[in-house]
């Protein structure tokens, strides 16, 4: 059976039956196509445990085109995850091939998370000049990210009428097209209200480009892109004098999670608020509670 045709059927299944995002479909296509190309597979008959083992060796020796460095372990594992999903799909269809459970993920390096300090957060939130519409927008972006823990793509997709200011909340569609509820702090809510009240455009997007000439009517789509949000945050980080820590939109998501955990939130609740499919992903933040646990131990453990 032609393996390329089976791959395309698998991708259609992932899109239609599993409701995976287009980005996931593109990534899975890339990873499985790399297996087919590197191992010169024409049919499913050529796929074996030994072939997959050789593929993993080649992955470990591949160089990333962008960084000119070897592929990270996590990237290698993304390939393995995609291949396992493909094998599970084939088994579901009753097509005999390598059992997915025989393919194990490689041990990867612990993920290092650089989290800005509380003082740096305060400096960052104070950096935008709220006397201008652009500064007010930047302040609203920063406050919203820290208050909700949104991914940058989720922030970009946010529209003005999505937000329920009465309840201080809104729903967002995250990874896997799953809907979750997020909440605004009073400060974030007030900043957003102020920013929206100063806008004269008709664009539905919550966060927009602000033309230098102020002519909003000249542009059909003003919605900011993830790259634009990234630049806005970096610009304000430089303005705040933060050079030690690299600040990104994801830094504020990290801060949101660690702030909740430090203040006693349970990990399952943090998982739901972040929109993680697995609590294992959320557990990367648990190291931040070590200091609090040390204090608990010191206070309550008998001497």
Cβ(34)–Cβ(62) below 8 Å: no
Quickly list DSSP for 181-197: EEE--HHHHHHHHHHHH
Distance (Å, whole) CA 245 – CA 120: 9
Instruction: Give all strands (DSSP E) within the chain, no chain letters.
Output: 169-173, 179-183
From CA 124, how far away is CA 240, in angstroms rounded? 5
DSSP tag of 69: S
Specify the long-range contacts of residues 191-197, CB closer than 8 Å, at least 24 apart: 191/136, 191/139, 191/140, 191/143, 191/144, 192/140, 192/143, 192/144, 192/163, 192/165, 193/165, 194/130, 194/136, 194/140, 195/133, 195/136, 195/137, 195/139, 195/140, 196/160
Distance CA 234, CA 239 (A): 9
User: Catalytic residue numbers?
Assistant: 151, 175, 250, 253, 276, 285
**Taking Cα atoms as reference points, which of 188, 182, 181 lies closest to residue 142?**
188
């Amino acid at each position: 059976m032609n393996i390329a045709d089976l791959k395309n059927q698998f991708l259609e299944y992932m899109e239609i039956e599993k409701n995976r995002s287009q980005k996931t479909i593109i990534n899975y296509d890339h990873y499985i196509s790399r297996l087919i190309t590197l191992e010169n597979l024409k049919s499913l008959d050529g796929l074996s445990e030994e072939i997959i083992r050789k593929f993993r060796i080649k992955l470990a020796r591949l160089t990333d085109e962008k960084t000119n460095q070897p592929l990270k372990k996590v990237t290698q594992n993304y390939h393995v995850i995609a291949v396992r999903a493909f094998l599970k799909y084939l088994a579901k269809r009753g097509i005999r091939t390598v059992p997915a459970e025989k393919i194990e993920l490689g041990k990867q390096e612990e993920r290092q998370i650089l989290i800005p300090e509380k003082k740096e957060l305060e400096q960052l939130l104070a950096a935008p000049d709220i006397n201008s519409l652009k500064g007010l927008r930047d302040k609203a972006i920063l406050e919203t990210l820290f208050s909700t823990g949104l991914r940058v793509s989720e922030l970009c997709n946010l529209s003005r009428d999505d937000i329920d200011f009465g309840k201080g909340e809104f729903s967002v569609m995250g990874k896997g097209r799953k809907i979750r509820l997020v909440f605004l702090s009073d400060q974030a809510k007030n900043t957003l209200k102020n920013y929206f009240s100063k806008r004269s455009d008709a664009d539905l997007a919550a966060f927009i480009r602000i033309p230098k000439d102020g002519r909003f009517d000249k542009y059909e789509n003003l919605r900011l892109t993830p790259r634009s949000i990234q630049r806005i945050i970096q610009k304000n980080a430089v303005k705040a004098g933060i050079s030690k820590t690299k600040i990104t939109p994801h830094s504020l998501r990290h801060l949101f999670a660690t702030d909740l955990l430090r203040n006693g939130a349970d990990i399952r609740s943090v998982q739901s608020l972040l929109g993680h499919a697995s609590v294992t992903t959320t557990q990367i933040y648990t190291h931040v509670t070590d200091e609090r646990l040390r204090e608990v131990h010191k206070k309550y453990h008998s001497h």
